[in-house]
C-alpha cells in the first residue's frame, strides 16, 4: 500500500478517545490528501530526454529589448515588466509541428494584472488566418496563487476561444517547472513537467480550426490589467516592479520551414516528413495509460473552467468537445470569466486586442 494511504488509514482508524480534536484531525487528513493527490499527479513518468539550446542559437528579443536579460551561461533569459514596457522573445525560425518547451519561474509577491505567456503563433505572417497555441499565466493578489489557462486558435478562429483555466499543485514562484506544447498533425498536448494536462485531438469536424500552418515560439510578460485578475478588478501595481519571469533550458524541436515557400500542404509534408516521424516517435508524443491517469486526476482536481461547458458562450458545444456528464454538472455555472483574446497583434506592442466575455465575475479565486 502507498505510504500516503497508510497515513490516511491510521487517521481513520484512530479510536474515538483520540478524536477529541476533530478539527485538528481533519486538517491533517486534508493536508495528507492534498499531498497524495500532488504526488499521484507529479509522478506520471520519468523526466523527458530533451536537447536544450542556448538562447542566442534559437531566439531573439521581440520587444522591450532592454528588459530581455540573458543569463550569464547563455542558456536562459529573464523577461521584465516595468512601468515603461513589458518584454518578450521569439524563435528565430518558424516550425511546421514541433515540441516547444522551457523551464519557467514566475514573479512572486503582488502580481495582479500580469500575464506571462508562452505560446506559438503565426500572426505576424498570416494576420487574418493565424494559428495559435497558448500557455497564459495570470497573476494575483499577494498571498493568492497564480492561475493559468491554455487555448488554441486555427485559421483566424479568434471568435471561438477554446480556453480552459486551472490552478497549480505547486508554487510556480519558488522553483522552475517545465511547461511544454506538443503540436503534431494529429493532436496538441499541453504538459507541465511530465504531466499532460490537456489533449486536443484533430478531427474532421474541427476543420480549419485546427492549427496547421507554420508557427514561431513566443514568450512575453505584459500588463493585462483589463482582464487577467478577477476580470480586470485588480490592476498591475508598479510599486512592485520590476516583475521578472525567468526562462531556461529552452527546447525547440520540429521542422523549420519558410511559410511563404510552403505553398501547399502536400509540399510541406514532403519537406518535413522525416522530422514529423521523428517527433511522433518521441517519448512525450505518447500518452501512456499512466500519463492519461495523471491527466484525468489533474483535470478533476485543478481545472475550474472549460469552454466545452460554457453554455453562455457556446449554447452548442464545439465539435471537438467530449461532454462528460459529471464534468457538465460541475461546470454548469462557470460561464462568467473574462478572457484576453488572441496574441496576433502583440508582436511589437505591450498589450493585445481583447475579446472579453461580458460577465466580469472571475471565479479564479476559488
CB under 8 Å to 109, separation ≥6 — which residues? Answer: 142, 240
Cell numbers placing 291? 500519463
132 is catalytic: yes
246 is catalytic: no
Distance of CA 237 to the CA centre of its chain: 24
Residue in this structure with the C-alpha cell 511522433, named with its chain if needed: 280
Q: Which of 136, 163, 164, 194 is catalytic?
A: 136
Q: Which of 127, 132, 163, 327 is catalytic?
A: 132
Contact yes or no for 358/230 (Cβ under 8 A): no
H/E run at residue 6: helix 3-12
Q: Distance (Å, rounded) from C-alpha 113 to C-alpha 225?
A: 4
Segment 51-57 long-range contacts (CB within 8 Å, at least 24 positions apart): 51/251, 51/253, 52/249, 52/250, 52/251, 53/250, 53/251, 53/252, 55/89, 55/250
Phi, psi of 137 (to 5 degrees): -100, 130
Distance of CA 154 to the CA centre of its chain: 17
* Residues that are catalytic: 132, 136
Amino acid at each position: 500500500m502507498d505510504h500516503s494511504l497508510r497515513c490516511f488509514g491510521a487517521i481513520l482508524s484512530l479510536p474515538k478517545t483520540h478524536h477529541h480534536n476533530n478539527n485538528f484531525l481533519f486538517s491533517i487528513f486534508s493536508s495528507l490528501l492534498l499531498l497524495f493527490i500532488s504526488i499521484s499527479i507529479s509522478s506520471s513518468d520519468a523526466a523527458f530526454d530533451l536537447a536544450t539550446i542556448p538562447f542566442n542559437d534559437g531566439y531573439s528579443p521581440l520587444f522591450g529589448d532592454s528588459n530581455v536579460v540573458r543569463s550569464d551561461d547563455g542558456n536562459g533569459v529573464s523577461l521584465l515588466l516595468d512601468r515603461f514596457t513589458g518584454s518578450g522573445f521569439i524563435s528565430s525560425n518558424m516550425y511546421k509541428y514541433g515540441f516547444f518547451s522551457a523551464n519557467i519561474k514566475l514573479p512572486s509577491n503582488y502580481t495582479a494584472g500580469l500575464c506571462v505567456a508562452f505560446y506559438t503563433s503565426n500572426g505576424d505572417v498570416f494576420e487574418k488566418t493565424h494559428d495559435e497555441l497558448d500557455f497564459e499565466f495570470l497573476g494575483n493578489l499577494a498571498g493568492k496563487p497564480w492561475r493559468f489557462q491554455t487555448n488554441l486558435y486555427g485559421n483566424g478562429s479568434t471568435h471561438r476561444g477554446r480556453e480552459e483555466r486551472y490552478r497549480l499543485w505547486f508554487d510556480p514562484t519558488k522553483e522552475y517547472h517545465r511547461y511544454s506544447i506538443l503540436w503534431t498533425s494529429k493532436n496538441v498536448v499541453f504538459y507541465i513537467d511530465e504531466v499532460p494536462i490537456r489533449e486536443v485531438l484533430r478531427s474532421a469536424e474541427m476543420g480549419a480550426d485546427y492549427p496547421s500552418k507554420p508557427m514561431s515560439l513566443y514568450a512575453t510578460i505584459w500588463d493585462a490589467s483589463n482582464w487577467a485578475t478577477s476580470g480586470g478588478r485588480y490592476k498591475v501595481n508598479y510599486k512592485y516592479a520590476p516583475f521578472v519571469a525567468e526562462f531556461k533550458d529552452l527546447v525547440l524541436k520540429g521542422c523549420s520551414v519558410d511559410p511563404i515557400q510552403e505553398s501547399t500542404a502536400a509540399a510541406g509534408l514532403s519537406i518535413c516528413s522525416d522530422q514529423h516521424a521523428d517527433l511522433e516517435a518521441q517519448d512525450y508524443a505518447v500518452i501512456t495509460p499512466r500519463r492519461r491517469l495523471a491527466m484525468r486526476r489533474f483535470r478533476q482536481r485543478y481545472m475550474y473552467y472549460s469552454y466545452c461547458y460554457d453554455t453562455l458562450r457556446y449554447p452548442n458545444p464545439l465539435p471537438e468537445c467530449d461532454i462528460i456528464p459529471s464534468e457538465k454538472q460541475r461546470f454548469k455555472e462557470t460561464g462568467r470569466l473574462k478572457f484576453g483574446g488572441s496574441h496576433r497583434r502583440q508582436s511589437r506592442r505591450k498589450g493585445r486586442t481583447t475579446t472579453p466575455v461580458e460577465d466580469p465575475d472571475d471565479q479564479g479565486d476559488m
